Amino acid sequence: MFTRIPRPLLIVSLALAAIALLAIASVRRNQSSRSILIRPVPPADYRITYGANEFQFGELRLPKGAGPHPTAIVIHGGCWMSQYGLSYMGHLSAALTEVGVATWNIEYRRIGNQGGGWPGTFEDASRAADHLRALAKSHPLDLNRVVAVGHSAGGHLALWLAARKNLPKDSPVYLSDPLSLLGAVSLAGITDLRRSGTACDENVPQLMGGSAQDKAAIYNQASPIELAPLGVPHAIVQGDSDNIIPLAMAKDYAGAAKKKGDDAKLVVIEKAGHFELVDPKSFAWEVVRDEVLALLKMSVPARSK
């Protein structure tokens, strides 16, 4: 004997089941992209030091052909913490190299490393970027077409590299002639060091050596939103399902940068979390790839259906 389920209850049950299935699919999708943290990484062509410290090195990947090649400085995230390194960004680097972009995936001193934090982390990002001038003497790199591409805390550093020409001359990280960038792409990046609500909140004072209240001057020198206008086009790419860096931060930064006259583009990818943006196997990858290619003034491949 079968008991008929009342129609209202049946509708509610079906709706709950559908929500559960969507939640499971979302978790699986996030877990799949998060797997780039442990998936085998395509090997780099060269591992090159840019300083004497063990963390001052980068991985260079070169496209096929004679060049000179447009180049992306690739910067990993991990809340600027020493336990997170550049390896996972090798996937993004290799994928960009396949479409004609040379990639310089950089490591740097982080919180927990001797000399990490302010100003060492920023000095390393600067030194690694400017080391492209030396690399171009022996590798076919086009220094007139260079962008910075960073993820999460690396997105913060990518924007900072584009903005460092705005630093005051008395800053410990000021340089009179930093390498010029065509632009920057921040992938789920931290754009405002004074803003709370990210998974990296407790790490910001460790990075800066104190609170924003106590270290106001150096926060102004380290936070992209304070250094705007950057003066170069840049894309702020964010997933609307990111539970590590909130979408609101990206929206607020883009709005503030535009008010200051910057060419800041906000790109929101629906149903994308934190790691889809740097996973070439994810549904978000073509959007990310195309933003990088557009800034480098390269033709964009046709989107797959």
What does DSSP say about strands 46-49 and 69-75: parallel, antiparallel, or unpaired? unpaired
Domain spans in the chain, listed from the N-terminal domain onward = 25-295
Question: What DSSP state is assigned to residue 75?
Answer: E
> Is 102 within 8 Å of 71 (Cβ atoms)?
yes
**Cα–Cα distance for residue pair 83/118, rounded to 1 Å:** 18
> Is 86 within 8 Å of 105 (Cβ atoms)?
yes
pTM above 0.85, yes or no: yes
Is the pLDDT at 60 greater than 80, yes or no?
yes
pLDDT at 302: 72
Tell the burial category of 108 from Cβ atoms under 10 Å away from its Cβ (0-12, 13-18, 19+): buried
Convert the pLDDT of each residue in 103-141 to its tens digit.
999 999 999 999 999 999 999 999 999 999 999 999 999
CA distances from 45 to 96, 170, 199, 272 (A): 14, 38, 33, 31
> Is 130 within 8 Å of 175 (Cβ atoms)?
yes
State whether CATH 3.40.50.1820 applies to domain 25-295.
yes
**Cα–Cα distance for residue pair 180/162, rounded to 1 Å:** 8
**Cα–Cα distance for residue pair 177/193, rounded to 1 Å:** 25
